[in-house]
Chains A and B, each alone.
Chain A
């Protein structure tokens, strides 16, 4: 280890949606790596420890190194000549970069979608249908005495969720920590999270909706047949007892995991949980919240929402935003072979999308932004290598409870940030679009101001 060491206090881990902002990083500036991450969980420690700068060109066209300017020009040409361009990803970058991406999509009249559409998008749909009774995690820590996780395994996916906010911390109205709380877990199998729970309900796979629906009926005072046990695997007595506890608590929270949104029923499953929370507000204070995965996926929802009015699956082809998940969401636009160019930022759809979508992605020009080589960057026509947010780049990210948090980077990267490239790309796109519309003459309608950008 060299002597060139610095410590960064109150740094932020952007690995999962908890976005813990109490990291103390020890950085070896010569080796350009983080040697210690105090306060981080196993996932966080791995995230910081594994971060090294990979050598490679900052910009490539068809696998050949080019200058940033050439790559930006090519990307701008590809995107502005497309008839149905799509922008996708955005969950692992800063809000500042996301904002530029929305502006670009607006100018090129494309569709913008984030990884929300393949994780908690259904919950986003459910918000619209049912409404959201919400909170911040600080409130949960200080007030909640009934916590229920449904379809998630935070011990492995969000290791510090229990210890920072929901189970063990001592809060203003929960001075004895875990003793003051009832923790319930609903899942299809036992997981490492199960031991934390005071009550564990093992629901039959694919029966979450039925279980939530039966609970709603009980909350509303309707009779439920004892055959519910056969149907869902949870007995009526257990459910009745649980519903009593929920009604009698002072502040209840329902956390939704991807076990709900990615199984049969999707938005109706999360909708049922949100409706359950709404029903319980007849008796006590109850809130529901999705446990978001990727670092800044919540920021992506927020930025896309405040710039377009909708959280994901937004299309600008008519010049104004239209929202229609299923039509403008990326898996669908790719699988139906609708898209004719793609701008993929900080995401690897070529590795995790359905095969039909990957095949189409391989057949159209792709502009990719990645911190390392990925399946997507390999098939990209224009590939940018960027620095990692939170480690090399500052900016803003949103925690899963919609609280914005400022990043404190640890050391510099030789690569530019996503925002550093997206901003000139947005400017170039803007020039081309305005030039084209002027050439067409007044009234072409494309000179309309896009989202406010610096």
Chain B
């Protein structure tokens, strides 16, 4: 049986709850979990002040309620499964190294910043800076996968170093900005200035988008590996059309200001 937490009182101010993470709860009883500290603004309170805890721990946790003011859930998670049925606040899965997080609703800004491994799946929309680097830090996500079925705002994959990010809906400006490597799939409409300052890595876009002046056109082709990737995305529940699967892609290289080893593959309609 897994642990189930239900939010019984909505926090008035942001609640920081990095203890609510599979690895940190393993081996604890329900009443021990209730006593764990969380931060309600600048006050230290306990889990029981906001959540009803049921079940006995194994490696999966489910949390229910509107958690849009709850931050840092699943931070530094290494294994197990965290399911959130509802919306969730910022810094979800920050720096996680393994395990799986599933959000049934929307997520706030900074979904899995600087994550190293594992997987995060958001059924709804995500905020700014999905899988990004924190301000002042040179490297963002360095492994794992982030799957957003809805829309995402600006700077998805900022300075990402490895791993894969998929945005099923619309994406904001500067997707893949300063990217070092890794793959980003933008299946819906994209914002402007994608791939600005990218060194290596692949950005795939399925919509018409303008290229920065520092990207140069290479060719129109059918990358075989892309088809394998897209089939995988289909299996994950993203909608990928036959035209996208079997169609041609324009390849652009850039960013010339940086190493020029990155590529943007834009679907040819």
Majority-rule SS of B interface residues? loop
Give chain B's interface residue range (CB within 8 Å of chain A): 20 to 34
Contact segment of B23-31, B35-43, B50-58, B218-226: B35-43
Interface pair B13/A209, CB less than 8 Å apart: no
Q: Is A51 an interface residue (CB 8 A)?
A: no
Contact of A338 among B14, B129, B173, B210 (CB under 8 A): B14
A339 within 8 A of B: yes
Q: How far is the CA of A108 from the CA of B43 in the complex (A)?
A: 11
User: A245 on the interface (CB 8 Å rule)?
Assistant: no
Instruction: Flag if A84 contacts B14 (CB, 8 Å).
Output: yes
Which of A129, A213, A265, A317 lies in contact with B173, CB distance below 8 A? A265
For chain A residues 115-153, which have a beta carbon within 8 Å of chain B? 125, 128-129
A110 contacts the other chain (Cβ, under 8 Å)?
yes
How long is the Cα–Cα vector from A293 to B215 in the complex, in angstroms? 36
A222 at the A/B interface (Cβ < 8 Å)? yes
A220 touches B257 (CB 8 A): yes
A213 touches B90 (CB 8 A): no
A217, B257: Cβ atoms closer than 8 Å: yes
CA A84 to CA B12, docked complex, whole Å: 9
A214 to B193, CA, bound (A): 13
CB proximity to B under 8 Å, residues A206-239: 209-210, 213-214, 216-217, 220, 222-225, 227-228, 231
Could you tell me if B212 and A264 are in contact, using CB atoms closer than 8 angstroms?
no
Is A318 at the interface (CB under 8 A from chain B)?
A: yes
CB of A324 within 8 A of CB of B214, answer: no
Q: Are B42 and A268 in contact (CB under 8 A)?
A: no
- Which residues of chain A are near B13, meaning CB under 8 Å? 83-84, 338-340
Interface string of A229-272 (1 = CB under 8 A from B): 00100000000000000000000000000000000110010000
Cβ-based interface call for A180 (8 A): no
Q: Does A286 contact B (CB under 8 A)?
A: no
**A residues near B165, Cβ cutoff 8 Å:** none
Question: How many Å from the CB of A338 to the closest CB on chain B?
Answer: 5
Contacts of B192 in A (CB 8 A): 264
A56 at interface, CB cutoff 8 A: no
Listed by A's residue number, 24 A-B pairs whose Cβ atoms lie within 8 Å are A83-B41, A83-B43, A84-B41, A85-B42, A109-B41, A129-B136, A213-B213, A214-B213, A220-B257, A222-B214, A225-B213, A228-B213, A231-B213, A264-B173, A265-B193, A268-B177, A268-B193, A318-B39, A318-B42, A327-B109, A338-B13, A338-B14, A338-B69, A340-B12
